[in-house]
Amino acid sequence: MARLPSPRTLLPLSLLVIFLLALPLCLLAGDDQQVNAPSPVPDGSASAMDLEEQGDALRAQKRYLDSLDFYSAAIAKHPTALLWNKEGMAYLFLQKYPEATKCFDRAIKKDKKAPEGYNNRGYMEQKDRNYNKAIKYYQKALALHPNDAVFHYNMGSSYFGKHEYELAAQQYRAAYVLDPDIFNRVSRIGVMAQSGSPEDRAAFSFMVAKMYAQAGDFDRSIEYLRKAMEEGYKDIKKVYTDSEFATLRTDKRFEELMSQRPQPIP
């Protein structure tokens, strides 16, 4: 049985947007601001770096409106692609999509060699199910940084949205080789977004289970098989015929799971 190459460690990126198929985007404006916390005012004498750091701290507290004040003040002093991306992310969490798109466009214009802007811009297209446009942005991001697990993952998600499953699987495999935790990890400054129907999410879980089984990671394969069944995957019997599951089928946990037959969760 063919096995995936050994995973390599991926250096942290400055800005990532991850599309996970299993969970919906849930960014409620009412949770963004701490009710009793007074809004800080940017210090006009502070450096752009200090303002950026304060903006980061506020965004980490989900005080997105306040973080925008500091990012804007930092941009006024020293505009960079990274700052435009961060401001765009704050708008994104506030569900102010036109403003977020403008920020990502400005990031690209400011530095055409910075891949994060293309990646984030691709998200805006994928959010609207403009998968072909999203893929073009991801291709530009990967051309600049081909060893980025997140970019491969995002492109795979767009192919998945188009129901081009083989192309999606190729990108997901590339992402897994670079980062074995990619399917469980969420960037600390990224977002989660729903893509596709419940049937698509069930098919995604089954695809991930197959990938983990092929890689010999049976714990996670079992986990995603269970998810696929709970999400109502209709072709679960393929687990008995697909070659990627051949070794997993000898595992007692597999036998137990299949005998339990978890029922779809409404």
Cα distances (Å, whole numbers) of residue 177 to 3, 119, 148: 11, 19, 10
> Tokens 């891949």 correspond to what residue?
115
Q: Per-residue pLDDT tens for 139-160?
A: 999 999 999 999 999 999 999 9
- Residues of the chain with pLDDT below 50 are 1-35, 186-194
Q: Per-residue pLDDT tens for 159-207?
A: 999 989 899 999 999 999 999 888 876 433 333 344 567 888 889 899 9
Three state DSSP letters for 73-87: HHHHHCCCHHHHHHH
pLDDT of residue 197: 76
Cβ count near 190 (within 10 Å): 20
Length of the chain: 266
Q: Name the DSSP class of 181.
A: T
Phi-psi domain of 182 (left: phi exceeds 0; alpha: psi -120 through 50; beta: other) = alpha
pLDDT of residue 63: 95
pLDDT of residue 196: 63
| Claim: this prediction has a pTM higher than 0.75 | yes
Rounded to whole angstroms, how far apart are CA atoms 112 and 37? Answer: 38
The two structure tokens encoding residue 201: 């999410």
Mention every residue, 6+ apart, whose C-beta is less than 8 A from residue 195: 19, 21, 126, 157, 160, 161
